């Protein structure tokens, strides 16, 4: 069983052929680790593959030989498969695949197509936020204005209650009426705050 966690390799960012050979060697090493049920080495190889891609600025991706090695030598549930598909989905160009008859594994092409269609169909975060703002924006603005007015009314009624309490110039009935209005206004403020909070989510 392979014991090393860190895999030494040199990334040849200026030499596409050497980089692709490096991908192929790492892919074959991953297949070997999977056959040996060595999860530690599999994880280390995926990290090495990712580091290789990053150091080439994703300009050179694993080619069809690496794809064939990974897909022919691993199970359907292997983490290496979605890793490879993600590399092509996120960083691939039309030149990355070349012709669809260029020898890539059929399973890889199927996984790649499904992932691309799913990514296109899924709305972006920006689209979701824009849709929510278009739907809830007017209500949010209106609720915020109502909240501001309600908070001013509460402040005004509180000041009035304090003034009347200090002066004792109002009868009990009138004071109770003002207190009821204050209570109603405070409840309205709470409701509006909750409404605005929900709309901002």
Give the whole-angstrom CA distance, residue 192 versus residue 181.
16
Residue range 101-118: average pLDDT? 84
Predicted structure pTM score: 0.54
How far from chain centre, in Å, is Cα 200? 19
Residue range 65-93: average pLDDT? 93
Give long-range contacts, CB 8 A cutoff, 24+ apart: 108-112.
Answer: 108/67, 108/71, 108/81, 108/84, 111/81, 111/82, 111/85, 112/85, 112/88
Give the whole-angstrom CA distance, residue 111 versus residue 130.
30
Q: Classify residue 135 by burial, with Cβ atoms within 10 Å: 0-12, 13-18, 19+.
A: exposed
> What radius of gyration, in Å, describes the C-alpha atoms of the chain?
32
Joined tokens for residue 147: 């909240």
| pLDDT higher than threshold 70 for residue 107 | yes
Joined tokens for residue 51: 């580091």
pLDDT tens sequence across 8-43: 555 444 578 899 999 999 999 999 999 999 999 999
Helical spans, DSSP H, in the chain: 16-35, 39-55, 64-73, 80-91, 94-97, 106-121, 125-167, 172-200
pLDDT tens sequence across 130-144: 666 566 667 767 777
Q: What is the pLDDT of residue 188?
A: 78
């Amino acid at each position: 069983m392979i014991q090393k966690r860190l895999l030494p390799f040199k990334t040849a960012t200026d030499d596409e052929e050497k980089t692709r050979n490096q991908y192929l060697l790492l892919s074959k090493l991953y297949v070997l680790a999977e056959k040996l049920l060595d999860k530690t080495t599999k994880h280390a190889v995926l990290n090495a593959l990712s580091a290789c891609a990053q150091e080439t600025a994703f300009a050179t991706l694993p080619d069809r030989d690496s794809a064939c090695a990974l897909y022919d030598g691993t199970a359907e549930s292997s983490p290496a498969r979605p890793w490879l598909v993600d590399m092509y989905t996120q960083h691939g160009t039309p030149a990355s695949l070349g012709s669809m008859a260029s020898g890539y594994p059929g399973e890889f092409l199927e996984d790649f197509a499904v992932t691309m269609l799913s990514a296109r169909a899924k709305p972006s975060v920006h689209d979701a936020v824009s849709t929510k703002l278009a739907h809830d924006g007017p209500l949010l603005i209106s609720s915020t204005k109502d909240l501001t007015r309600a908070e001013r009314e509460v402040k005004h009624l509180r000041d009035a209650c304090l003034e009347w309490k200090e002066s004792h110039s109002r009868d009990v009935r009138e004071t109770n009426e003002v207190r009821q209005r204050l209570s109603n206004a405070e409840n309205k403020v709470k409701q509006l705050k909750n409404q605005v909070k929900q709309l901002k989510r």
